[in-house]
Chain A
Amino acid sequence: MPFVHQIIPYSSLSVVGLGKNTGKTECLRYIIKRLSEKQKTIAVTSIGIDGESIDRVTATPKPEIHLEKGMYFTTVGAYYLQKRFTAEICHVEENATVLGKMLTARALEQGQLVIAGPTDTLSLQRWVTNTLQRFPVDICLVDGAVSRLSPASPAVTQSMVLATGAAYSAHLKTLVDKTRFVYDILQLPVASQTVKKSLEHITKGIHIVKEDGTVENVGIDSALTSAQIRKVVALGAERLYIPGMLGNALLQAFMEQKGAEDMCLYIKDFSHIFAEPRTFYAFLRKGGQIRQLRKVNLLAVCVNPVSPRGYHMRSEELVESMEQALGVPVYDIKKIEA
């Protein structure tokens, strides 16, 4: 039973798909099934309406999530009332969304339901904390939005599973490269304990990190506009903490300046990088470093060799090339289940 035993030590896990039809739903279904067999009590929710409740292109609702008996799930009232199985309402939130109040219920039998929970990182974080506190739950699962990595931020869930597949890219090498890029960002090394301690509580403003671990606020809020970027680069600092967003333009500017090989950039976690693969790798190749304060535990990568447009990749070939490129276990969920 691949990788399920790895989940057990954690109290929260997110499943993120790199694109539509990359098998995220199957992957979640597999995890739920196996964890239930291990007598674990699970709570699940999914990124809400802002995420992908309705596919804006095809207007199809997001897929239903398979629920095992005894599982807790958090969704909005409008979806809850459409269920075709028995469940007990355990908690209702005070504030209503456009789709009714958000509630948490326990499935009294197996069933399927559209799940739409909290919409932003902060409320997801709160959901994980509250759920673990209120109910006898072993693990909280977050069904992440497609191509939005923030729910998998270590600030929300401790561990993650990545789903990728033919639908993301039909060309084997491109698919592997694209996945490799996400993987490399996820696996950026963690900052030293000393640096981590001095930066952890800083949420705003760019800071210079000095040799002895002390920090200095340079009085620049973020580095997004070109004027801000010029100012930040002009600092000429070797070690910088960027608590907000590390954008492509900033990374490009660092990469192009002299002394990039001695640079070390600190970020909160992977979800704060928004860079093109080319810029990202060029910076690293020059010797620059990017370190994160917190790193998510990537437990596995799941692949779906089938694209809805009818393209099939050979499962073994895909799994093998992916494993070679990433160096972590890669699974074809459909194969395992069969």
Chain B
Amino acid sequence: MIFSSVAQRIDGLQYLADKMELSGSRVRRYLLQTPFTYRAETLEKQFDDIEKAVRILDKHVHAPNVLKLSHLFSSIHDIKGTLDGLKTSRVLDEIELFEIKHFASLCRDIRIVCEALDFMENAPACLQEVFDLLDPDETGTSGFYLYDSYSPALAKARKDASLAKAEENTKLWQEATERVLTEELRVRETLSGTLSGMHNLLRNNFDRLAYLEIVFAKAALAKQYGMVRPRVVPLKGAGGTDAALSVKDMVNPVLSDVLATEDGAFQPVSITLEKGPCLLTGANMSGKTVVLKTLALTQALTQFAFFVPAREAVIPLVKDVFLVLGDKQDQNRGLSSFAAEMLELNEIMGVIKKGVPVLVLVDEPARTTNPAEGAAILCATVAFMEEHATRSLISTHYGDLDVQVRKLRVVGFEGEKATGVLDPSAINRYMNYSLIEDKGHAVPKEALQIARLLGVDASFIALAQQFLKKDDDETIKTGT
């Protein structure tokens, strides 16, 4: 599982990746191929690095060196093709040899900056040996050609060619330049052979530099979105850890950016999830889906070694995150949204049955079928998660369910006195998105109230009210 594949199913990952300032496709490729990590030690090491980078970015005195570093990053060329060539012992051409020398000299410059920033543990290795090989005349500059000093035969051939040219002896000149080409090839073969032996060293440096740049980009992102280092709880054995997932004041960066353009702000949400299932209820427009999406994003960010958008986060590691939004209908394959959702859940249950520890976030399962069977499917889902002790959050509008399970409710609409017609963003202002424990069996019934405030025809709402059963009638807060 790598970043690019997970980003296709967890909202917000790609958005944040696009927000990162990276010097080019070389680094972006590396980021997209970052593996989903569930080894705590690996993550802790990377978090240490990001934390240190944040401290460096925070200090004003480091600004010139940080600027220099980003300039050096953007000077690095994508020499993957050349490095692959070295691995297969291909003979490099003059331009590729120049690129290797240029790379070695950049590594040296980056080491100097890392030293000044006291960040040597992530600096590229010293490539003096490579540089010296490509700088036989000890000029110290990054220019390159096939120097005479590589081979007396090459020097002789070049001298002959030059003499023949001066004498305008075409035949001699042609013969001598042919010899020059032969000797140049020989030199390139020798150099490529020697560099082949250093392939691992070069390759490691190439990767380390991408890593270093990503660490700084992650640190900059953390500063931009006020992200914090998550505390990770290691996986214990096959069944996963028993510790609770707990996130305080979690923010969705995508929505928070959108709201900022409309002069709004994202109301942070706190949540704790023990092992096993938990239901999430709340009125329409109360942000249940956003909670699920943000939680999925937070878990995924943690396991790709990013800081997370919250004030505090304790994240038990898992081997996968599933976010089921029930919007995967595929008319081309003849799948209705119900069918697609069932197949997706089935697949996830298959994984869980194998004992793989995962986090499951499901948005209103079986909402597209009849309420009787829908509620049954929901209860079965909860029971399954209970049986397998799978940490899961399942949102629903179904009430009076026949299962004993923890319930969280979005506090919801607090604009009882609101009258007239409001636009959707005004309704958002009356919404309290906090989560509270809910001991009751009923679910909030504010659909008609919200519809009224959205300006839906009053006679239609009155009609709907007539259809409501009498005993339900009392729980409805119509505000009129």
Q: Which of B90-98, B285-293, B313-321 contacts its partner? A: B90-98
**Within 8 Å of chain A (Cβ to Cβ): is B145?**
yes
Q: Nearest A residue to B141 by beta-carbon distance?
A: A90
Chain B residue with Cβ nearest A111:
B165
Q: Is the interface of A mostly helix, strand, loop or mixed?
A: strand
Whether B95 and A77, one on each chain, are in contact in the complex, defined by CB atoms closer than 8 angstroms, is yes
Q: Which of B146-197 contact A (CB under 8 A)?
A: 146, 158, 161-162, 165, 177, 180
Contact A81 B93 (CB under 8 A): yes
Q: Decide: A81 near B94, CB < 8 A? Known: A92-B99, A94-B77, A94-B78.
A: yes
Q: Is the CB of A103 within 8 A of B95?
A: yes
Across-interface contacts of A94 in B (CB, < 8 A): 24, 77-78
Look across to chain B and name the residue whose beta carbon is closest to the beta carbon of A81: B93
Whether A92 contacts B145 by the Cβ 8 Å rule is no
Closest A residue to B26 by CB, please name it: A94
Please, which residues of chain B bring their CB within 8 A of the CB of A92? 77, 95, 98-99, 102
For the complex, give the distance between the alpha carbons of A80 and B24 in Å: 26
Q: Which B residues are in CB contact (< 8 Å) with A198?
A: none
**A106 engages B78 (CB within 8 Å):** no
- By a CB distance below 8 angstroms, the chain B residues around A90 are 143
What per-residue 1/0 map shows which CB atoms of A179-193 lie under 8 Å from chain B? 000000000000000
A265–B265 alpha-carbon span in the complex (Å): 52
A310 to B268, CA, bound (A): 84
Asked if B94 contacts A86 (CB within 8 A), the reply is no
Nearest residue, chain B, Cβ from A109: B162
A93: nearest chain-B partner, CB-CB: B77
The reply on A239 being an interface residue by CB < 8 A is no
> With A92-B102, A103-B95 in contact, do A84 and B143 touch (Cβ < 8 Å)?
no
Which of B78, B94, B145, B165 has a CB less than 8 Å from the CB of A108? Answer: B145
The answer to whether B77 touches A89 (Cβ under 8 A) is: no
Is B338 on the interface with A (CB-CB < 8 A)?
no
- A2 sits at the interface (CB 8 A): no
Is A101 engaged at the interface, CB distance under 8 Å to the other chain? yes
How far does the alpha carbon of A100 sit from the alpha carbon of B98 in the complex, in Å? 14
Q: Would you give the 0/1 interface string for B80-110, flagging 1 where the beta carbon is closer than 8 Å to chain A?
A: 0000000000000111001100100000000
Q: Does A316 contact B (CB under 8 A)?
A: no
Near B by CB (< 8 A), chain A positions 104-134 give: 105-106, 108-110
In contact, A89 and B144 (Cβ under 8 angstroms): yes
Interface of chain B residues 326 through 371 with chain A (CB within 8 A): none
The 6 closest A-B pairs by CB, nearest first: A89-B98, A88-B145, A88-B143, A90-B143, A84-B177, A94-B77
Judged by a CB distance under 8 angstroms, whether A87 is at the interface is: yes
- CB contacts under 8 Å to B, within A55-106, are 77, 80-81, 84, 86-90, 92, 94, 100-101, 103, 105-106
A88 touches B93 (CB 8 A): no
Measured CA separation A84–B182 after assembly (Å)? 12
| Cα-based distance from A208 to B50 in the complex (angstroms) | 56
Using a CB–CB cutoff of 8 Å, the interface residues on chain A facing chain B are: 77, 80-81, 84, 86-90, 92, 94, 100-101, 103, 105-106, 108-110
Q: Name the contact of A101 in the complex, choosing from B24, B95, B158 (C-beta under 8 A).
A: B95
What is the CB-to-nearest-CB distance from A116 to chain B, in angstroms, rounded to a whole number? 15
Q: Which chain B residue has the least Cβ–Cβ distance from A110?
A: B165
How near does chain A come to B27, taking the closest CB pair, in angstroms?
Answer: 12
A172 nearest CB across to chain B (Å):
37
Closest to A100 in B: B95
Residues of B within 8 A of A108 (CB): 145
Minimum C-beta distance from B105 to chain A (A): 12
Q: Which residues of A contact B158 (CB under 8 A)?
A: 86
For B165, the chain A residues whose CB sits under 8 A away are: 110
Residues of B within 8 A of A110 (CB): 165
CA gap between A86 and B146 in the complex, in Å: 8
Q: How far is the CB of B157 from chain A (nearest CB, A)?
A: 11
A135, B165: Cα distance in complex, Å: 29
Q: Please tell me which one of the listed residues A81, A86, A101 contacts residue B145 in the complex, with CB atoms under 8 A apart.
A: A86
Cβ-closest chain B residue relative to A94:
B77
- Asked if residues B95 and A88 are in contact (CB atoms below 8 Å), the reply is no
CA A249 to CA B283, docked complex, whole Å = 65
In the assembly, what is the distance between CA of A94 and CA of B161, in Å?
Answer: 33
| CA A81 to CA B184, docked complex, whole Å | 11
Within 8 A of A (CB), among B21-51: 24
Task: Given A88-B143, A89-B144, A92-B95, output 6 extra A-B contacts at Cβ < 8 Å.
Answer: A81-B93, A86-B146, A92-B98, A92-B102, A106-B143, A108-B145
Nearest B-chain residue to A106, judged by Cβ? B143
Residues of chain B contacted by A84 (CB below 8 angstroms): 161, 177, 180
| Measured CA separation A92–B99 after assembly (Å) | 8
* Min distance, Cβ B162 to any Cβ of chain A, angstroms: 6
Residues of A contacting B102 with CB < 8 Å? Answer: 92
> Which residues of B have CB within 8 Å of A88?
143-145
B144 neighbours in A (Cβ, 8 Å): 88-89
Task: Name which residue of chain A comes closest to B145, CB basis.
Answer: A88
Is there an interface contact between B143 and A89, defined as CB atoms closer than 8 Å?
yes
* Cα distance, A81 to B177, chains bound together (Å): 14
Cα distance, A101 to B102, chains bound together (Å): 15
- Nearest residue (CB) in B for A90 is B143
**Residues of chain B contacted by A87 (CB below 8 angstroms):** 145
Residues of A contacting B145 in the complex (Cβ-Cβ under 8 angstroms)? 86-89, 105, 108
With a CB–CB cut-off of 8 A, which chain A residues contact B24? 94
Rounded to whole Å, the gap between the CB of B393 and the closest CB of chain A is: 46
Output the nearest chain A residue to B23 by Cβ-Cβ distance. A94
Docked Cα-Cα span, A133 to B161, in Å, equals 34
Chain B residue numbers with a CB within 8 Å of A80 are 94-95
Q: Pick 23 A–B contacts, CB within 8 A, sort by A.
A: A77-B93, A77-B95, A80-B94, A81-B93, A81-B95, A86-B145, A86-B146, A86-B158, A87-B145, A88-B143, A88-B144, A88-B145, A89-B98, A89-B143, A89-B144, A92-B77, A94-B77, A101-B95, A103-B95, A103-B98, A105-B145, A108-B145, A109-B162
Residues of A within 8 A of B98 (CB): 89, 92, 103
Pair A89/B177 contact, Cβ less than 8 Å: no
Which partner residue on chain A sits nearest B24 by CB separation?
A94
In the complex, what distance in Å separates the CA atom of A103 from the CA atom of B98?
10
CB distance from A96 to the nearest CB of B (A): 9
- Measured CB to CB, the nearest residue on chain A to B180 is A84
| Residues from chain A with Cβ under 8 Å of B180 in the complex | 84
Docked complex Cα distance between A215 and B235 (Å): 70
Which B residues lie within 8 Å of A77 (CB)?
93, 95
A108 to chain B, nearest CB (A): 7
In the assembled complex, the Cα of A194 lies from the Cα of B80 at a distance in Å of 54
What is the CA–CA distance of A86 and B93 in the complex, to the nearest angstrom? 14
B161 contacts across to A, CB distance below 8 A: 84
Of A80, A90, A100, A110, most buried by chain B (CB within 10 Å of CB) is A90
Residues of A within 8 A of B143 (CB): 88-90, 106
Measured CA separation A1–B97 after assembly (Å): 42
